[in-house]
Structure 1
Amino acid sequence: MGTEHDRRRFLGLAAGASTLTLAGCSTAPGDSGTSSSPTEPDESTDTDTPTSQSMSTVFHFARGPDYQQHALANVANLLDDSSTAVENVVVVANGQGVELLVASESNHPDRVTELLNRGVSFRACENSLAARDIEESALIDGVETVPAGVGELTKLQARDDFAYIETP
């Protein structure tokens, strides 16, 4: 049958919707979608204005020191994105990633503090701290601990509806 048959079948299944958007293309039900001219974007959808619904995001950081700056830049970029309304931002660090949150080991303790002051919650995995013989008192002021980083990620996504982003 092939790709064209699969595409038509999918479009047929979506016939109950007033408009179907696929990869930036808008196709109304009954439209074959074979027009040679590109479909104009729906002007009622403005991607440059913040969404009216505030969202929450959890960043997962488990990499080494070479990736700390990039991870923190991702968090700051989200906060600075005026087209995205974000209410809660959490960074969960586990594995080698907890070094980002240890005052004496972090390459960017001032940047972590700056983001804490902007309302970002940083949470260090107690299992990872214990495996590295790191005391909670060694963490940057304001950093919280959680029993298990993976458990915290699971709870935030499943129970609290956080969007998940794995940092580099």
Structure 2
Amino acid sequence: MKRILFKLLFAGLIALVAGTSAFAAERIKVVYHLMEGIDQATRAMANIRNHLRAEPDTQIVVVAHGEGIRFLLKGAQDRNNRPFDSAISELAAQGVDFRVCHNTLTAHRIPESQLVPEAKLVPSGVAEVARLQAREGFVYLRP
């Protein structure tokens, strides 16, 4: 009886270790939700850089709508007059995906040509955030 119990415990331990290593190997997916403007974007860019330093394999998508799109417009600068475009390019080169709400552009009468090249249009920012969470398993962060 002890031998059977030992085998069951050992098999359970092996399954637990195998499951844990498979879970650890999964790539973490995070959506950063921006809708408040330049100050939030400044915080987000710093958060994303720190995030990638700690976990370089993280898949990060930034979704912007409302005032959150301002940093993705050509020539946008933070409060210290530092341009966002080079920081966006650097993060995009590391795999960060920047998505912009088409509804916001339409409502604010901003032409697509005003966006930085790294920005990709999505029909709705809020729908994109919901889709990423519900269908693709992204963790939600709002800096």
Q: Larger radius of gyration, structure 1 or 2?
A: 1
| TM-score (structure 1 length as normaliser) | 0.64
Matched residues in 1 for 2:77 and 2:106: separation? Answer: 17
1:98 paired residue number: 69
Aligned residue-pair number: 117
| TM-score (structure 2 length as normaliser) | 0.75
1:53 paired residue number: 26
Given the alignment, which residue of 124, 127, 132 partners 1:156?
Answer: 132
The structure with more helix, counted as a fraction of residues: 2
1:69 paired residue number: 42
SS at match of 1:159: helix
Alignment of 1:1-168 (within 5 A): 51-82=24-55, 85-86=57-58, 88-107=59-78, 108-167=84-143
Structure 1 unmatched runs, 5+: 1-43, 45-50
Alignment RMSD: 1.9
**Counterpart residue type for residue 50 of structure 2:** N
Q: Highest relative contact order (Cα 8 Å, sep 6+), 1 or 2? A: 2
- Runs (4+) off by over 6 Å: none
**Counterpart residue type for residue 64 of structure 1:** G
Query: Kindly, what percent of the aligned residue pairs are identical?
Result: 35
